Chains A and B, each alone.
Chain A
Amino acid sequence: MNSTAGPHFKTYLLILLMVIFGPLGNVLLGKGMKQIGPVNIRAAEALDLLSRVLTSGTIWLGIASLITFFVAYMLVLSWADYSYVQPASSVAYGMVALLAHFVLREVVTPMRWMGIVIICLGVVVVGQTPPRTTEPT
Protein backbone atom coordinates (compact mmCIF):
# COMPACT_ATOMS: atom_id res chain seq x y z
CA MET A 1 0.00 0.00 0.00
CA ASN A 2 1.52 3.34 -1.00
CA SER A 3 1.38 6.53 1.04
CA THR A 4 -1.73 7.96 -0.66
CA ALA A 5 -3.74 4.74 -0.59
CA GLY A 6 -3.80 4.76 3.22
CA PRO A 7 -5.99 7.78 3.96
CA HIS A 8 -8.23 7.09 0.95
CA PHE A 9 -8.81 3.50 2.01
CA LYS A 10 -9.46 4.64 5.57
CA THR A 11 -11.95 7.29 4.40
CA TYR A 12 -13.85 4.92 2.10
CA LEU A 13 -13.95 2.24 4.78
CA LEU A 14 -15.38 4.62 7.39
CA ILE A 15 -17.93 6.11 4.97
CA LEU A 16 -18.95 2.54 4.11
CA LEU A 17 -19.40 1.82 7.83
CA MET A 18 -21.52 4.99 8.18
CA VAL A 19 -23.69 4.13 5.18
CA ILE A 20 -24.28 0.61 6.53
CA PHE A 21 -24.67 1.17 10.28
CA GLY A 22 -26.66 4.46 10.21
CA PRO A 23 -29.54 3.03 8.12
CA LEU A 24 -29.27 -0.36 9.83
CA GLY A 25 -29.68 1.37 13.20
CA ASN A 26 -32.81 3.20 12.05
CA VAL A 27 -34.28 0.03 10.55
CA LEU A 28 -33.62 -1.91 13.79
CA LEU A 29 -35.21 0.88 15.86
CA GLY A 30 -38.18 0.76 13.50
CA LYS A 31 -38.48 -3.01 13.85
CA GLY A 32 -38.14 -2.82 17.64
CA MET A 33 -40.75 -0.08 18.00
CA LYS A 34 -43.21 -1.92 15.72
CA GLN A 35 -42.85 -4.90 18.08
CA ILE A 36 -43.62 -2.65 21.06
CA GLY A 37 -46.65 -1.10 19.38
CA PRO A 38 -48.07 2.40 18.85
CA VAL A 39 -46.88 5.02 21.35
CA ASN A 40 -49.39 7.34 23.03
CA ILE A 41 -48.58 10.63 24.72
CA ARG A 42 -49.85 9.76 28.20
CA ALA A 43 -47.77 10.38 31.28
CA ALA A 44 -49.26 7.32 33.00
CA GLU A 45 -47.90 4.99 30.33
CA ALA A 46 -44.50 6.62 30.03
CA LEU A 47 -42.63 4.47 32.56
CA ASP A 48 -44.11 1.22 31.29
CA LEU A 49 -43.23 2.25 27.74
CA LEU A 50 -39.69 3.23 28.71
CA SER A 51 -39.14 -0.13 30.39
CA ARG A 52 -40.42 -1.98 27.31
CA VAL A 53 -38.11 0.11 25.08
CA LEU A 54 -35.08 -0.43 27.30
CA THR A 55 -35.61 -4.20 27.53
CA SER A 56 -35.93 -4.72 23.77
CA GLY A 57 -32.90 -6.46 22.27
CA THR A 58 -33.72 -5.10 18.82
CA ILE A 59 -33.72 -1.51 20.15
CA TRP A 60 -30.33 -2.06 21.81
CA LEU A 61 -28.93 -3.52 18.56
CA GLY A 62 -30.24 -0.42 16.82
CA ILE A 63 -28.61 1.86 19.41
CA ALA A 64 -25.29 -0.05 19.09
CA SER A 65 -25.53 0.30 15.33
CA LEU A 66 -26.17 4.05 15.58
CA ILE A 67 -23.24 4.43 18.01
CA THR A 68 -21.00 2.63 15.47
CA PHE A 69 -22.26 5.06 12.83
CA PHE A 70 -21.61 8.05 15.09
CA VAL A 71 -18.06 6.96 16.01
CA ALA A 72 -17.21 6.36 12.32
CA TYR A 73 -18.68 9.80 11.49
CA MET A 74 -16.67 11.59 14.19
CA LEU A 75 -13.47 9.73 13.23
CA VAL A 76 -13.76 10.45 9.50
CA LEU A 77 -14.52 14.12 10.23
CA SER A 78 -11.22 14.35 12.08
CA TRP A 79 -9.34 14.24 8.74
CA ALA A 80 -11.84 14.41 5.85
CA ASP A 81 -13.81 17.53 4.89
CA TYR A 82 -17.39 17.76 6.14
CA SER A 83 -18.33 18.92 2.63
CA TYR A 84 -16.94 15.62 1.29
CA VAL A 85 -18.36 13.32 3.94
CA GLN A 86 -21.87 14.80 4.04
CA PRO A 87 -22.76 14.23 0.35
CA ALA A 88 -21.13 10.79 0.42
CA SER A 89 -23.27 9.86 3.39
CA SER A 90 -26.49 11.00 1.66
CA VAL A 91 -26.43 7.53 0.06
CA ALA A 92 -27.74 6.49 3.49
CA TYR A 93 -31.25 7.71 2.55
CA GLY A 94 -31.29 5.26 -0.33
CA MET A 95 -29.90 2.54 1.90
CA VAL A 96 -32.67 3.09 4.48
CA ALA A 97 -35.31 2.62 1.78
CA LEU A 98 -33.59 -0.53 0.45
CA LEU A 99 -33.31 -2.06 3.94
CA ALA A 100 -36.89 -1.06 4.78
CA HIS A 101 -38.06 -2.73 1.58
CA PHE A 102 -36.04 -5.95 1.83
CA VAL A 103 -35.80 -6.44 5.61
CA LEU A 104 -39.03 -4.91 6.93
CA ARG A 105 -41.05 -5.66 3.76
CA GLU A 106 -42.23 -2.06 3.54
CA VAL A 107 -43.78 -0.96 0.26
CA VAL A 108 -41.69 1.85 -1.25
CA THR A 109 -43.66 3.45 -4.08
CA PRO A 110 -41.91 4.84 -7.21
CA MET A 111 -42.87 8.36 -6.09
CA ARG A 112 -41.17 7.76 -2.75
CA TRP A 113 -38.00 6.50 -4.52
CA MET A 114 -38.03 9.67 -6.60
CA GLY A 115 -38.36 11.78 -3.45
CA ILE A 116 -35.39 9.95 -1.90
CA VAL A 117 -33.25 10.57 -5.02
CA ILE A 118 -34.18 14.29 -4.90
CA ILE A 119 -33.27 14.43 -1.18
CA CYS A 120 -29.86 12.87 -1.96
CA LEU A 121 -29.30 15.48 -4.71
CA GLY A 122 -30.26 18.25 -2.28
CA VAL A 123 -27.81 16.95 0.32
CA VAL A 124 -25.05 16.86 -2.33
CA VAL A 125 -25.78 20.50 -3.27
CA VAL A 126 -25.76 21.51 0.42
CA GLY A 127 -22.44 19.68 0.82
CA GLN A 128 -20.82 21.53 -2.06
CA THR A 129 -21.05 24.83 -0.22
CA PRO A 130 -18.17 25.96 2.03
CA PRO A 131 -18.26 24.14 5.38
CA ARG A 132 -17.18 27.18 7.38
CA THR A 133 -18.32 30.76 6.91
CA THR A 134 -17.56 32.13 10.36
CA GLU A 135 -14.10 33.20 11.47
CA PRO A 136 -12.44 31.16 14.21
CA THR A 137 -12.60 33.18 17.43
Chain B
Amino acid sequence: MRELIFYLLIIGAGTGGELCVSRAMKAVGEVKAFRPTALLGVAARALRVSWMWVGLALMGTAFFALLAVLSLENVSLVVPVTALSYAAGALGGKFFLGEQVSRRRWMGVLLVCVGVAFVIMGRR
Protein backbone atom coordinates (compact mmCIF):
# COMPACT_ATOMS: atom_id res chain seq x y z
CA MET B 1 0.00 0.00 0.00
CA ARG B 2 2.79 2.34 1.08
CA GLU B 3 4.71 1.36 -2.09
CA LEU B 4 1.65 2.07 -4.23
CA ILE B 5 1.41 5.63 -2.87
CA PHE B 6 5.10 6.20 -3.63
CA TYR B 7 4.78 4.81 -7.16
CA LEU B 8 1.74 7.01 -7.80
CA LEU B 9 3.74 10.02 -6.58
CA ILE B 10 6.78 9.14 -8.75
CA ILE B 11 4.69 8.65 -11.87
CA GLY B 12 1.99 11.26 -11.21
CA ALA B 13 4.09 14.05 -9.72
CA GLY B 14 7.08 13.26 -11.96
CA THR B 15 5.07 13.38 -15.16
CA GLY B 16 2.97 16.31 -13.92
CA GLY B 17 6.20 18.13 -13.11
CA GLU B 18 7.67 17.48 -16.56
CA LEU B 19 4.44 18.61 -18.22
CA CYS B 20 4.46 21.86 -16.19
CA VAL B 21 8.14 22.46 -17.01
CA SER B 22 7.43 21.69 -20.67
CA ARG B 23 4.52 24.15 -20.61
CA ALA B 24 6.72 26.79 -18.97
CA MET B 25 9.51 26.26 -21.54
CA LYS B 26 7.02 26.61 -24.40
CA ALA B 27 5.98 29.94 -22.84
CA VAL B 28 9.65 30.97 -22.69
CA GLY B 29 10.09 30.12 -26.38
CA GLU B 30 12.55 28.06 -28.40
CA VAL B 31 16.14 28.13 -27.13
CA LYS B 32 18.39 29.05 -30.06
CA ALA B 33 21.62 30.24 -28.46
CA PHE B 34 23.64 27.94 -26.22
CA ARG B 35 26.25 30.38 -24.93
CA PRO B 36 26.42 30.28 -21.11
CA THR B 37 25.20 33.88 -20.79
CA ALA B 38 22.28 33.20 -23.13
CA LEU B 39 21.37 30.06 -21.15
CA LEU B 40 21.42 32.03 -17.90
CA GLY B 41 19.00 34.47 -19.51
CA VAL B 42 16.74 31.57 -20.51
CA ALA B 43 16.87 30.21 -16.94
CA ALA B 44 16.00 33.65 -15.54
CA ARG B 45 13.03 33.98 -17.92
CA ALA B 46 11.89 30.42 -17.14
CA LEU B 47 11.91 31.10 -13.39
CA ARG B 48 9.48 33.99 -13.92
CA VAL B 49 6.88 31.57 -15.32
CA SER B 50 4.76 30.24 -12.45
CA TRP B 51 4.29 26.84 -14.17
CA MET B 52 8.06 26.34 -13.79
CA TRP B 53 7.79 26.57 -9.99
CA VAL B 54 4.84 24.20 -9.91
CA GLY B 55 6.83 21.82 -12.12
CA LEU B 56 9.97 21.97 -9.98
CA ALA B 57 7.97 21.37 -6.80
CA LEU B 58 6.28 18.33 -8.35
CA MET B 59 9.59 16.94 -9.66
CA GLY B 60 11.13 17.38 -6.20
CA THR B 61 8.22 15.46 -4.67
CA ALA B 62 8.71 12.68 -7.22
CA PHE B 63 12.44 12.49 -6.39
CA PHE B 64 11.80 11.99 -2.68
CA ALA B 65 9.12 9.41 -3.44
CA LEU B 66 11.70 7.60 -5.60
CA LEU B 67 14.16 7.60 -2.69
CA ALA B 68 11.45 6.26 -0.38
CA VAL B 69 10.46 3.40 -2.67
CA LEU B 70 14.13 2.52 -3.30
CA SER B 71 14.46 1.96 0.46
CA LEU B 72 11.77 -0.71 0.21
CA GLU B 73 12.12 -2.36 -3.20
CA ASN B 74 14.78 -3.61 -5.62
CA VAL B 75 16.17 -1.18 -8.20
CA SER B 76 15.48 -3.74 -10.95
CA LEU B 77 11.78 -3.48 -10.07
CA VAL B 78 11.47 0.23 -9.29
CA VAL B 79 13.13 1.71 -12.38
CA PRO B 80 11.21 -0.38 -14.96
CA VAL B 81 7.91 0.35 -13.16
CA THR B 82 8.61 4.09 -13.46
CA ALA B 83 8.46 3.56 -17.25
CA LEU B 84 4.68 3.85 -16.70
CA SER B 85 5.38 7.57 -16.88
CA TYR B 86 5.28 7.10 -20.69
CA ALA B 87 1.58 6.27 -20.30
CA ALA B 88 1.02 9.18 -17.91
CA GLY B 89 2.98 11.41 -20.30
CA ALA B 90 0.85 10.43 -23.30
CA LEU B 91 -2.36 11.06 -21.33
CA GLY B 92 -1.07 14.34 -19.91
CA GLY B 93 0.27 15.46 -23.30
CA LYS B 94 -3.15 14.86 -24.80
CA PHE B 95 -5.32 16.40 -22.09
CA PHE B 96 -3.02 19.02 -20.53
CA LEU B 97 -0.92 20.26 -23.46
CA GLY B 98 -3.42 19.53 -26.25
CA GLU B 99 -0.94 17.36 -28.19
CA GLN B 100 -2.19 14.86 -30.73
CA VAL B 101 -1.07 11.40 -29.67
CA SER B 102 -0.90 9.10 -32.68
CA ARG B 103 -2.16 5.50 -32.72
CA ARG B 104 1.46 4.37 -33.08
CA ARG B 105 2.45 6.21 -29.91
CA TRP B 106 -0.46 4.60 -28.02
CA MET B 107 0.81 1.24 -29.30
CA GLY B 108 4.24 2.00 -27.84
CA VAL B 109 2.67 3.06 -24.54
CA LEU B 110 0.68 -0.19 -24.48
CA LEU B 111 3.90 -2.19 -25.03
CA VAL B 112 5.55 -0.33 -22.14
CA CYS B 113 2.57 -1.21 -19.90
CA VAL B 114 2.75 -4.90 -20.91
CA GLY B 115 6.49 -4.86 -20.17
CA VAL B 116 5.88 -3.33 -16.74
CA ALA B 117 3.29 -6.03 -16.02
CA PHE B 118 5.92 -8.69 -16.84
CA VAL B 119 8.47 -6.96 -14.60
CA ILE B 120 6.00 -6.89 -11.68
CA MET B 121 4.96 -10.51 -12.24
CA GLY B 122 8.64 -11.47 -12.47
CA ARG B 123 9.05 -11.22 -8.71
CA ARG B 124 10.90 -14.11 -7.17
Contact surface of A with B, Cβ cutoff 8 Å: 23, 26-27, 29-30, 33-34, 36-41, 53, 59, 78, 93, 96-97, 99-101, 104, 106-130, 133-134, 136-137
Structural contact, A118 and B115, CB atoms closer than 8 A: yes
Docked complex: B50-77 residues within 8 A CB-CB of A: 66-68, 70-72, 74-77
Structural contact, A101 and B67, CB atoms closer than 8 A: no
Structural contact, A106 and B75, CB atoms closer than 8 A: yes
- Taken together as a complex, chains A and B put the C-alpha atoms of A56 and B104 apart, in Å, by 43
The smallest beta-carbon distance between B5 and chain A, in angstroms, is 7
The smallest beta-carbon distance between B44 and chain A, in angstroms, is 17
Supposing A115-B118, A129-B102 touch, asked if A123 and B71 sit within 8 A by C-beta, the answer is no
Structural contact, A130 and B75, CB atoms closer than 8 A: no
Consensus secondary structure, chain B interface: helix
Structural contact, B76 and A112, CB atoms closer than 8 A: yes
Structural contact, B5 and A26, CB atoms closer than 8 A: no
Structural contact, B115 and A130, CB atoms closer than 8 A: no
Structural contact, B67 and A118, CB atoms closer than 8 A: no
Consensus secondary structure, chain A interface: helix
- Taken together as a complex, chains A and B put the C-alpha atoms of A41 and B119 apart, in Å, by 26
- Which B residues touch A106, using CB under 8 A? 74-76
Structural contact, B30 and A136, CB atoms closer than 8 A: yes
Supposing A30-B75, A129-B102, A134-B98 touch, asked if A121 and B111 sit within 8 A by C-beta, the answer is yes
